[in-house]
Amino acid sequence: MKRIPAVATLALLTLASGVRAAPPPDSSTLAQVIAGPQRTPAFEARDRYRHPLQVLRFFGLKPDMSVVEIWPSGGWWTEILAPYLRTQGKYYAAIQPPFRDAAFHQKLAAAPQYYDRVIVTKAGPPDHWQIAPSGSADLVLSFRNVHNWLAGGYAEKMFAAMYRALKPGGVLGLVEHRAAPGTTRADWVKSGYVSEDFVIQLAREAGFRLAAKSEINANPKDTKNYPKGVWTLPPTLELGEKDRAKYLAIGESDRMTLRFVKPRHAASHK
């Protein structure tokens, strides 16, 4: 914002009134979209744990990219990605069949000014491995999904699907609950915390190269030894009122944040 008119004026008026207004869709920065009126308040309250601006910048998100999100679930990231990519880019929401299929479509239909250009695909068993046209995506994103793929026995297929969807040189951005050293695969499935080294191994076996790690989503308060695994912590709080204040004080889980690249010499099909 170098001049006072337009978006800057809107921001000043919004701040003065205490009411957020929607920024012009053609000129919205990522920060403006994250602060936009389309965000669900309960989702927005989790920004302090999920750090959307820093994470998406780390993954290299640009407004003209073709982006696939794996398993958007309730649409936490959809509320940011779809409006940001709506004008210049593409946003594929690769949902888990049939989990929340109807609810997710209802969410999109309720706010066409943000979600009318979302492309919905499916990702997962038994045979939904075409998450976007092969070699078409600049960026594939997965947030806290790998433990579910391990539990289902198809992690390798999902990494292959993500690799296949990306252009050579494209990026896989991945966030996952991080296990303590020395834990086993059985521990990962039971607790929801996965070994960072194992996730890197899965990606490399699929053909990816690890480009960078970030501690954006690290949480040193997370001891990872709870009765209900990661779901003991917020937002799930599986134990209900038992020790609720204790778990709220810990916050959400300690998470790895990894950026992988599909090599530029790689073929689109693998």
pTM for the full model? Answer: 0.88
Closest CA relative to residue 40, chosen from 72, 14, 74:
74
Q: Which tokens hold the place of 249?
A: 């004080």
d(CA 140, CA 142): 7
pLDDT at 267: 61
- Where helices occur in 111-175 by DSSP H, the ranges are 112-115, 146-152, 155-165
For 119, phi then psi, to 5°, come to -100, 115
Q: Enumerate domains of the chain plus CATH numbers.
A: 1-37 (no CATH), 39-218+254-261 (3.40.50.150)
Please list the ranges in the chain whose pLDDT falls under 70: 1-27, 99-100, 267-270
The 10 Å CB-count burial string (b at 16+, else e) for 189-213 is bebbbbbbebbbebbeebbbeeeee
Residues in the chain: 270
What tens digit of pLDDT does each residue of 113-142 get? 999 999 999 999 999 999 999 999 999 999
- pLDDT given at position 168: 97
pLDDT at 265: 85
Neighbours of 100 (CB within 10 A): 17
The dihedral built from the CA positions of residue 55, 57, 60 and 64, taken in this order, carries a sign that is: positive
